Chain A
Amino acid sequence: MTAAALLLALAQPFAGAGPAADCLALRHRGENIQADHCFLRLASAAEPWARAEGLWGLRRYREANEEFRRAVAERPRDPDRKVRWGRLLLERFNPGEAAELFQEALRVNPRHAAALVGLALVAANGFEQKAVELARRALEADPACVEARVLLARMALEDGDQERARAEAAAALELWGEALDAMAVLAAAEWIADREPGVWLERALRVNPRYGRIYAVGARFLVLNRRYADAVQLYRKALELDPALSDVRSELGINLMRLGRDEEARRQLERAYDEGHRDAPTVNALRLLDGANNFVLEKQGLLELKLHRKEAAVLGPYVRAEATRALTALQSKYRVRLEQPVRIELYPDHEDFAVRTLGMPGLGALGVTFERAVAMDSPSARKPGSFHWAATLWHELNHVVVLTRVNNRAPRWFVEGLAVWEESQASPEWGERLTPEILTAIREKKLLPAADLDRGFVRPSYPGQIVVSYYQAGKLCEFISREWGFEALLRMLDAFAARRSTSEAIREALGITGDEVDRRFLAWLEQSLRVPLEAFPTWRERMKRLAEAARAGRHEEIIREGPAVRDLYPEYTEAGSAYELLAAAHLAVGDKGAARAELERYARAGGRDPAWLRQLGELEREAGRTAEALAALRRWLYVDPMNEEVHRRLGDLLLEQGQAEEAMREYRAVLALGPTDLAAAHYALARACRAAGRIEEAKEQVLAALEAAPGYRPAQKLLLELNR
């Protein structure tokens, strides 16, 4: 075969790129100098499309965009031009306009395979289920479409379906023996399975000795499998082979940031930025790193706390105490000894947390664990009552412990399921709520088999499926623990660590098939939720009537009807719950005892509205039930720790009970919050210090109180007492 014929044959897979096919074929082979010459020639061609492709190849993106605009204006009915322009926009971080161009191409030719692939890529990048369907439609339109096959392989691997991923990649290689991206997926599957992908590396590098992307693709899959440190190693190898991969450099930077290696992260991100890779994650991550001075890092024992300056003094003691409690309990339970420090970062701005996690704002999660680094929302990032910071902390720290035990090798559903279940083990009031959305999913038989449950997390097929999957995973772990004991969960972890699939792990650890577990689990779940599952429509109707009665002030009717409505769905504690309506009605008729009892039920069921928890604390205190009042205030503290009042009330009650050291902690928090009444806050702390026998500290505090308010009589009296 002559060189020209070889090039012609090689360029076939790039035929859709029109004038750029030959140049892309050279680049595919790693012949970058020749490829650049080729693109340079195109850039000065007479045809706008050729110029556009040439400029794109030379990374002169703005000019390429302009030339594509001309090329499309010249031949507005040519779908190929629209698709190529769309691909440029997709590459340059504009998926919205890219999708519009793919749609326009499909309006001209509804079976345009490359346009369907383009749309599938946009959807796949957003982990949307419709990406699979679009890729299949592309294959129907053109059974030889290699890119569609590779995309299906990639998505199967994202879903954890190694078998299907390998089959699709193999089919792609059947179509074109040099499909490097297919080899990359196959290599990634090997890395996930803890095997060296020697054969695929060798074959790919034979085609293109500078094909660094094979490592980068593997790294992306390791990230999806929570193996961030391993991913960093692969990103480095990718850059060794091809240092010009600035998108890969940016990903390396973001993953270094996830692991808490901020300095190197910044260096890599800055270099990617300087090389022209200025997508939103790179820019956002650099901005976040620029704000590092706003945070303080406190190291003590195994814990490294990174907290915002303005809230470190308030939250630090609570987070440290809760983290210590959680890590002690979980290490013992999971028989893990953490040798390296655990880093916990709290972000008062949710978007900072999102950028820290994904590089992009808009993340729905509350916390994320990157091996031994936990990043989460600070309580001040959310509306008081909507976020239980301690439950989230336990959840994330459970990931740290469990992932250490299995060396980061376990499916997502199991890791999340254990964490959700452990929240409820820390306190029955914590854990995933049974929302109406989840009840509906169970009623409509939308739960996934255990073997496919990862799909519910990675590629949800209906709104709310991620939340449903968390709940299901947590309940499944609870069920396994009840039926086979906690040891069975540990056996499953060991099986996963040994790279068993979910079906295999179930068989090894429980001695039955995955199908049998699914069947028994569903029966158990439906039985345990029988009342709300059956009564849900009735409950909804009756709740409406109860709310109407509340609006009209018909307290007696609420008191009469409310308990039955509440018991139809006792897990419902969200705003406007039957508990709240009942408590309000009891208070309106002056029955504080009944209101207290109702609010106790509410709190035990997981109710978290700060106003009601405050009310409960007050009612308990008035009734002389100090222990219960303290419990109510502590619940309030878990959902609203930036509130000065909760600390003050808790401090007062603890001091009354002679728990002076604990009271001191609360009063210190009041002071750290910058109280409205500075003098009273110092005075309260002075009293607690005196009660704890810390006379010198008491003197300091009373002096501070009087410095702020020299005429403050109670503080003056204490000053005289302390100086007698």
Chain B
Amino acid sequence: MERVYLDNNATTIVDPAVKDAMDPFFTRMYGNPNSLHSFGTELHPYMKIALDRLYSGINAGDEDDIIINSCASEGNNTVIKSVYFDSVLKSGKTQMITSSIEHPAVSKTYRFLEELGVEVLWLPVNKDGIIHPDTLRSAIDPDKTALVSIIWANNETGLINPVQEYGEICRENGVPLHLDGVQAIGKIPVDMKKVYADFMTFSAHKFHGPKGAGGLYVREGNHITPLLHGGEQMAGLRAGTVNTAFMVGMGYALELAVQNLEFEAVEVRRLRDKLEDAILEIEDVEIIGRRDIRTPNTILASFRGIEGEAFLWDLNQRGVAASTGSACASESLESNPTFVAMDIAAELAHTGMRFSLSRYTTEDEIDYAIDAVKKSVTRLRGISSTSNNEYI
């Protein structure tokens, strides 16, 4: 076995069927969909199918919008800054609420708004690693709060937040709710008729679609100030020529992902559990977060005495790709904020290692990875000064 890819929360392989579906739009049907001539209009049926797939994939209402954009970072920026322009600058709401375990696309956008004088509340997680609904309930202030932004499923832990309850709380208080749905879509059911969120963002490359394509769901009745001004694309809500190929690819990828949700819940989970059980056989290992509230593809584990970057390096030498939030593996020497917020395992910020599977992960790959993990642990604990004492 040459290489095993267990970093599917970072990105996924494009489904070959999705690639085939995108192919005609590069050299054959390359028109600009806003042109009135046939090169433009011939694209419309395909774009309609893509929208149908996207709307049904997340069970959006026909009166809602799904704005096609470049990525979830763009979607998150659009929502947060739009609410800043519309509610904070114009209608006098002064506070915005988010959590301590957000992806940088959300957290750094809020840090930026903090510099502009917005009061931002950073909700903590409970012992299970999720934001308890009561935490949100006590923080929200209908007179002050302009927006609540919370991650649906966390990218590092896979832990799923009780978003349905957030929706109810926000609705009762008349405060819009923005969910970062990137790690939920394609892993667990996402139903915007059940979850009352006003905004929800997603990214195609996390569910076997192309990189550079994303979607922003906007519930009927919500206003969006565009992040990108310009042409009239996306009903004037997002300027920029629509990337037809990627839009088609994202639509098809979402349809396939939804069709595979059962496979994800059973087969991907089975392989994930197999890897997780094998990891748990290793001494001094802690798995972060209960399985029943975690996406079926994700494991975040802390291996006592093994620093994350060294582990990642060693696994990479053995052909296994995973991910660590260790400060030592960061360009800025900063620990991953989610790891810091997750006060579950004291050493997590240094020893956390994430394995994330996809529906393309095979049993052979998991067997190989189990062997590689065990060998790496043995080698690195042989070097380690802390694996069997209480020094740290």
B and A form one assembly: no
